[in-house]
């Protein structure tokens, strides 16, 4: 009997392994998996921001800049009418964009595309609005809603709740509906004139906080008043938590393209087709 004991133990142990495999040996690879068991795991580290040259080389996204959206009146000067888009012309703009297959994008999407190469939807375009005028809420927002479009509103915080400007409730509603509201300074003074820490506090830091407290969302993108900027302003913006800044149609800074993102003004004198043509020709 002693001679049979050891082989019997070996037999029973082998049978136990064969009949009751461990969890590791029963794990099955999903049928639709294309990764072999021996393939190395993909690294999932932080995104690496592109350098300035790479950002400059990416195809520009067209960005339209609107101010007032209303019909002209007799007291509007010739110069002012450049910044006043008649209502029917604005409606024609959006219809043309929708009929042409454009998709609106917001600052988060644009930033990720420029900085990290994240793909955008086909035919992207950004609709931006400056200066807090209430017609942007009463006319632009409902018209965008017809097409599922979203926009970014660069507001002056000094104008909130004033006549002919947006109220706090309207601003909150815009953000609740998926639009972006962010800063265009306190009272539209050019950054070229900021000389002291108090200037930066008044025009950049306080408006940023006001908007964030009002909307409950980050206000980390910025539009320069008049589209005017200088290189000295960029480190000041960075220091105050601004991640990107928008100019108008001048050249981008080759060293800080994320702080000189180009837009074009939607002139009140243009037809929708002229605006579309200018948009195509302006962005490369």
pLDDT in tens, 232-256: 999 999 999 999 999 999 999 999 9
Q: Is residue 91 over pLDDT 60?
A: yes
Planar angle of CA 147, 153, 155, nearest 5 degrees: 160
What crossing angle do the helices spanning 272-282 and 87-99 adopt, rounded to 10°?
A: 60
For 3-49, write each residue's pLDDT tens digit. 443 443 333 334 443 444 443 333 333 333 333 334 444 445 688 99
Q: Which residues pair with 154 in a beta bridge?
A: 130, 182
- Helix boundaries (H) for the chain: 2-19, 23-26, 52-57, 87-99, 107-116, 135, 141-147, 168-176, 197-200, 206-215, 233-239, 272-282
Q: How far apart are CA 83 and CA 87, in angstroms?
A: 12
**CA-closest candidate to residue 68, choices 50, 52, 82:** 82
Q: What is the percent of the chain with per-residue pLDDT over 90, rounded to a whole number?
A: 83
Q: For the segment 168-182, what is each residue's pLDDT rounded down to a tens digit?
A: 999 999 999 999 999
**Dist. CA 244–CA 86, nearest whole Å:** 30
Q: What is the pLDDT of residue 47?
A: 84
Quote the Cα angle for 261-262-263, to 5°: 130
Exposed e or buried b for every residue in 119-153, given b needs 16+ CB within 10 A?
ebeeebbbbbbbbbbbbbbebbbebbeeeebbbbb
DSSP letter assigned to residue 140:
I
Instruction: Tally the C-alpha atoms within 13 A of residue 189's C-alpha that lie toward its C-beta.
Output: 16
The arithmetic mean of pLDDT across residues 139-154, rounded, is 98
CA dist., res. 156 & res. 201, Å (int): 14
Mean of pLDDT values over 42-65: 89
Task: Determine the average pLDDT of the residues in 115-140.
Answer: 98
82, pLDDT greater than 50: yes
- State the pTM of this model: 0.84
pLDDT at 1 exceeding the cut of 60? no
């Amino acid at each position: 009997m002693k001679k049979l004991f050891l082989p019997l133990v070996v037999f029973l142990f082998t049978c136990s392994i064969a009949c009751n495999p461990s969890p590791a040996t029963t794990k099955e690879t999903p049928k639709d998996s294309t990764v072999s068991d021996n393939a190395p795991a993909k690294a999932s580290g932080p995104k690496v921001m592109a350098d300035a040259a790479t950002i400059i080389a990416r195809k520009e996204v067209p960005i339209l800049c609107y101010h007032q959206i209303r019909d002209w009146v007799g007291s509007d000067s010739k110069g002012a009418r450049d910044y006043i888009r008649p209502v029917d012309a604005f409606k024609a703009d959006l219809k043309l964009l929708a009929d042409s297959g454009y998709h609106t994008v917001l600052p988060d999407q644009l930033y990720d595309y420029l900085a990290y190469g994240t793909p955008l939807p086909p035919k992207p375009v950004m609709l931006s609005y400056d200066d807090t005028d209430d017609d942007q809420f009463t006319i632009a927002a409902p018209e965008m809603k017809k097409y599922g479009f979203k926009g970014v509103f660069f507001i002056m915080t000094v104008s909130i709740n004033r006549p002919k400007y947006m109220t706090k409730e309207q601003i909150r509603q815009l953000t609740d509906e998926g639009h972006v509201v962010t800063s265009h300074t306190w009272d539209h003074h050019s950054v070229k004139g900021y000389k002291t820490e108090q200037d930066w506090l008044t025009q950049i830091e306080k408006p940023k906080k006001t908007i964030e407290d009002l909307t409950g969302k980050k206000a980390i993108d910025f539009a320069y008043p008049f589209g005017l900027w200088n290189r000295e302003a960029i480190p000041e913006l960075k220091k105050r938590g601004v991640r990107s800044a928008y100019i108008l149609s001048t050249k981008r800074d080759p060293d800080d393209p994320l702080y000189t993102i180009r837009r074009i003004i939607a002139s009140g004198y243009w037809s929708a087709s002229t605006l579309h043509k200018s948009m195509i020709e302006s962005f490369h």
